[in-house]
């Protein structure tokens, strides 16, 4: 990172992506800066043709439009404005008396050459200023504003799709809220409908290199015939999706959205490529979408992505890198698939480095990376969850990240495996996995009290007098044993557990049982804010290695566990505060630190070849110490004597 590239932003300020000037750090300004960045990077407009808070005359009064776009090489005067963008807080509705779309229309009416206007708040609306045959100005709803160089929006080809950035969170949220508010569906069914459309979008990207089918023009948006034509196209896409993913969608499932609602969602998503969007951006947006709809049921509090990545990187670091692609990996309480996606991202990094060294042709290296990642995930990555809605959410997450979706199963991981039914019985066996990564549901409010289930677990009777059995146990305690049962001897388990298991005197029997059956490789005490604002439960990540029968025999003869070293860490920051707001690194004076960084994006060119595109963009560093934990652990575990100890 070059010293001259660093910019310090005073507290309470943002740096404008267009002007470079400092602006107040407000919710409205965040919306405006996201849109301004999109105008530059997605629509291709030049900074020189954009004005922020441009003053226009509105009758006898003066008003400031949020963003005004001018044709190249023209004076920045009111009569030359081409496009107007109005940005509002996310809770502002288009019908708002003072700040709704009528405000935008008044600005368009006062600017004779402004043809398009975009209003963004709780929804994104685009309006086109038209003139009737009688010479009267009127406004018609549109799907999009034109990209740079065009007078009107054009059909989108695959090569013109752009990766999404931070705005993807807001886009998913707006789409879901629009379905929820305009279709009359409850939150979860609204989420399911949006999920179907995301599948259609990804499928269209994956199968097309020409014009996209997932597209609606402005004229079609305004026409009942056009909307019906879109409905036919999307229905056909969904039929193809069901053929490709019969294990996700039933044959009789349909998209149950009105044509108008469907047109809105397609219009919001159509310009972006979900496949080409960076994994971190995609993961954050998807996590937010799923979490806002499904979080909290049956003890489900989804694991933050940085915790998933830390656990996955630490666990893989205990193996030689050349064995990574042959390790069978499972999450038996996979939720939305966070741990599985983290593994795929690490595999992708490793495969890219290997393939770039092997092939001089960049496109060939990237194609091979995608092919090998899909093959590896389909063969070695698996997940189970008890919630069928989360199973589908996890499958979608894996589809967006390269696949492995066929191996996510709906089942109760704590049932006797003999009671599992369907495909899971062919692929999930006790004693067959090298790695398990999981955050099981936990809490005394969801106890396991079925004697038939408890009878499978040694923990239910461990250290009880006269062979008595505990009447009930929280699920996280049983998950520890089930995970070790699923592992091969010598396999690794990274599990998120409440600190009570590690410190409560009444649960000492669990700690003694763990030390009997497994070797503790590492313990990371997570900050209390890790799962906030959803739950303040204090948790740790425990990394274990399942002992072999021979190791347990030797320890029984010795009368005690063998001595060994354990890696321990207590990070103080995880990148967000108690309210879930992102924490960024700051100087001692409280100034934000921004710097220029190169982001590499993989895209397809018009001929269908994969190429990489490198962009310079402003980056802020999160105040997150988990990557440091990974770095220290990797240095610690990579010592030859420790690798020999772990891998025989």
Domain coordinates in residue numbering, the chain = 43-154, 162-273, 295-581+625-647
Query: At residue 95, what are phi and psi to the nearest 5 degrees?
Result: -90, 0
Residue with the bigger pLDDT between 439 and 186: it is 439
Q: What pLDDT was estimated at residue 452?
A: 92
SS (H, E, C) 333-371: CCCCCHHHHHHHHHHHHHHHHHHHHHCCCHHHHHHHHHH
Q: Do 295-581+625-647 and 43-154 fall under one CATH topology?
A: no
Average pLDDT over residues 443-459: 87
Give the model confidence (pLDDT) of 306-341 as tens digits: 999 999 999 999 999 999 999 999 999 998 899 999
Q: Say yes or no to pLDDT of 600 above 80.
A: no
Over residues 41-55, the mean pLDDT reads: 92
> Residue 217: what pLDDT?
85
Collapsing DSSP to helix, strand or coil, 202 comes out as helix
Q: What pLDDT was estimated at residue 293?
A: 62
> What's the confidence (pLDDT) of residue 384?
96
pLDDT in tens, 196-206: 999 899 899 88
pLDDT at 466: 84
Q: Which region among 2-11, 44-53, 315-324 has the lowest average model confidence (pLDDT)?
A: 2-11
* Whole-number pLDDT of residue 1: 37
Which token pair is 130? 């038209």
pLDDT averaged over every residue in the chain: 88
Q: Name the burial class of residue 644, with classes exposed (0-12), middle (13-18) and buried (19+) by CB atoms within 10 angstroms of its CB.
A: exposed
- pLDDT over 90 percentage in the chain: 49
Q: Which of 334, 377, 173, 185 is nearest to 269 (CA)?
A: 173
Q: Is the pTM of this model over 0.85?
A: no
Per-residue confidence (pLDDT) for residue 639, from 0 to 100? 93
User: Of 96-110, 467-481, 517-531, 596-610, where does mean pLDDT reach its minimum?
Assistant: 596-610
Least confident stretch, 36-40, 122-126, 597-601? 597-601
Q: Highest mean pLDDT: which of 154-158, 199-203, 390-394, 427-431?
A: 427-431
295-581+625-647 under CATH 3.40.50.150, yes or no: yes
**Most confident of the following: 57-66, 293-302, 540-549:** 540-549
User: Considering only 211-220, 367-376, 615-624, which range has the smallest mean pLDDT?
Assistant: 615-624
User: Please, which pLDDT band fits residue 297 given cuts at 50, 70 and 90?
Assistant: very low
Q: How confident is the model at residue 605 (pLDDT cuts 50, 70, 90)?
A: low
- Cα–Cα distances (Å) from 524 to 311, 497, 632, in that order, read 9, 10, 12
pLDDT value of position 439: 94
Whether the per-residue pLDDT at 2 is higher than 50: the answer is no
Examine the pLDDT at 4 and tell me if it is beyond 90. Answer: no
pLDDT at 510 over 80: yes
The whole-number pLDDT of residue 296 equals 47
In the predicted structure, residue 295 carries a pLDDT above the cut 60: no
Q: What is the pLDDT of residues 349-404, one digit of tens each?
A: 999 999 988 888 888 888 899 899 999 999 999 999 998 888 988 898 898 888 88
- The token duo for 110 is 């006062």
Sequence length of the chain is: 648
Fold annotation for 43-154: tt1808, chain A (3.90.1570)
Identify the band that residue 511 occupies on the pLDDT scale cut at 50, 70 and 90.
very high
Can you give the pLDDT at residue 298? 46
Average pLDDT over residues 539-562: 91
Average pLDDT over residues 9-23: 89
For residue 197, what pLDDT is reported? Answer: 93
pLDDT in the model for residue 300: 53
- Mean pLDDT score, 133-147: 87
- Exposure letters 54-85 (e unless 16+ CB within 10 A, then b): bebebeeeeeebbbbbbeeeeeeebeebbbbb
pLDDT band at 604; cut points 50, 70, 90 = low
Residue 461 has pLDDT above 70, yes or no: yes
User: What pLDDT is attached to residue 110?
Assistant: 92
Is the CB of residue 558 less than 8 Å from the CB of residue 512? no
Q: How many other CB atoms sit within 10 Å of the CB of residue 466?
A: 5
What pLDDT was estimated at residue 427?
93
- The packing angle between helices 338-358 and 362-380, to 10°, is 140
Tokens encoding 313 = 């990187």
Task: Single out the residue of 644, 630, 439, 639 nearest to residue 522, CA to CA.
Answer: 630
Is the pLDDT confidence value at 516 over 60? yes
Paired residues of 604 in beta bridges? 610
pLDDT in tens, 18-29: 998 999 989 889
Average pLDDT over residues 505-512: 93
Could you tell me if residue 150 is left (phi over 0), alpha (psi between -120 and 50 degrees) or otherwise beta? beta
CB 67 within 8 A of CB 89: no
Positive or negative torsion for Cα 174, 383, 196, 256: negative
- Range scoring the smallest mean pLDDT among 404-408, 596-600, 642-646: 596-600
∠ CA 50-51-54, rounded to 5°:
150
Q: Indicate the DSSP class of residue 349.
A: H
Say which range, 187-201, 369-383, 540-554, has the weakest mean pLDDT.
Answer: 187-201
Report whether 14 contacts 30 (CB < 8 A).
yes
Where does the pLDDT of residue 444 fall: very low under 50, low under 70, confident under 90, or very high at 90 and above?
low
């Amino acid at each position: 990172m070059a010293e001259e590239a660093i910019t310090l932003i005073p507290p309470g300020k943002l740096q404008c992506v267009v002007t470079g000037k400092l602006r107040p750090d407000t919710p409205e300004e965040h919306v405006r800066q996201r849109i301004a960045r999109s105008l530059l990077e997605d629509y291709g407009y030049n900074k020189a043709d954009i004005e922020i808070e441009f003053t226009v005359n509105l009758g006898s009064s003066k008003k400031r439009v949020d963003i005004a776009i001018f044709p190249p090489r023209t004076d920045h005067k009111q009569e030359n404005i081409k496009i107007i963008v109005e940005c509002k807080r996310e809770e502002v509705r288009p019908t708002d008396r003072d700040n709704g779309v009528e405000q935008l229309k008044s600005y368009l009416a006062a600017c004779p050459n402004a043809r398009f206007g975009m209003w963004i708040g709780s929804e994104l609306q685009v309006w086109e200023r038209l003139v009737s045959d009688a010479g009267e100005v009127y406004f018609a709803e549109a799907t999009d504003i034109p990209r740079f160089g065009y007078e009107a929006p054009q059909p989108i080809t695959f090569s013109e799709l752009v990766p999404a950035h931070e705005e993807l969170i807001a886009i998913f949220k707006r789409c879901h809220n629009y379905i929820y508010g305009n279709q009359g569906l409850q939150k979860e069914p609204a989420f399911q409908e949006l999920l179907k459309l995301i599948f259609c979008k990804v499928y269209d990207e994956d199968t097309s290199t020409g014009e996209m089918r997932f597209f609606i023009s402005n004229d079609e948006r305004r026409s009942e015939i056009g909307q019906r034509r879109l409905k036919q196209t999307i229905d056909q896409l969904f039929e193809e999706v069901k053929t490709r993913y019969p294990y996700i969608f039933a044959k009789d499932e349909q998209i149950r959205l009105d044509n108008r609602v469907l047109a809105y969602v397609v219009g919001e998503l159509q310009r972006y490529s979900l496949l080409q969007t960076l994994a971190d951006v995609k993961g954050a947006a998807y996590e937010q979408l799923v979490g806002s709809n499904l979080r909290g049921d049956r003890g489900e509090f989804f694991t933050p992505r940085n915790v998933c990545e830390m656990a996955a990187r630490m666990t893989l670091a205990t193996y030689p890198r050349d064995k990574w692609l042959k390790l069978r990996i499972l999450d038996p309480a996979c939720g939305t698939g966070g741990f599985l996606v983290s593994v795929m991202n690490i595999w992708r990094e490793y495969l890219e480095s290997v393939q770039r060294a092997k092939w001089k042709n960049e496109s060939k290296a990237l194609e091979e990376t995608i092919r090998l990642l899909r093959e590896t995930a389909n063969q070695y990555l698996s997940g189970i969850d008890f919630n069928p809605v989360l199973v589908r959410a996890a499958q979608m997450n894996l589809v967006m990240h390269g696949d492995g979706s066929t191996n996510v199963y709906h089942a109760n991981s704590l049932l006797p495996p003999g009671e599992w039914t369907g495909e899971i019985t062919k692929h999930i066996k006790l004693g067959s996995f090298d790695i398990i990564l999981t955050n099981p549901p936990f809490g005394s409010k969801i106890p396991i009290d079925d004697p038939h289930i408890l009878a499978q677990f040694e923990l239910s009777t461990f250290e009880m007098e006269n062979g008595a059995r505990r009447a009930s146990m929280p699920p996280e305690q049983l998950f520890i044993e089930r995970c070790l049962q699923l592992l091969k001897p010598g396999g690794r388990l990274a599990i998120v557990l409440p600190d009570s298991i590690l410190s409560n005197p009444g649960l000492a029997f669990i700690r003694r049982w763990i030390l009997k059956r497994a070797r503790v490789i590492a313990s990371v005490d997570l900050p209390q804010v890790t799962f906030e604002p959803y739950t303040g439960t204090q948790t740790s990540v425990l990394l274990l290695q399942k002992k072999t029968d021979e190791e347990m025999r030797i320890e029984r003869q010795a009368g005690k566990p063998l001595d060994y070293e354990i890696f321990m860490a207590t990070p103080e920051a995880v990148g967000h505060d108690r309210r879930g707001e992102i924490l960024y690194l700051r100087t001692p004076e409280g100034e934000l630190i921004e710097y220029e960084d190169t982001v590499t994006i993989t895209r397809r060119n018009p001929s269908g070849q994969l190429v990489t595109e490198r962009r310079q963009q402003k980056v802020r560093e999160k105040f997150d110490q988990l990557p440091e934990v990974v770095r220290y652990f990797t240095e610690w575990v990579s010592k030859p004597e420790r690798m020999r100890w772990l891998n025989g």
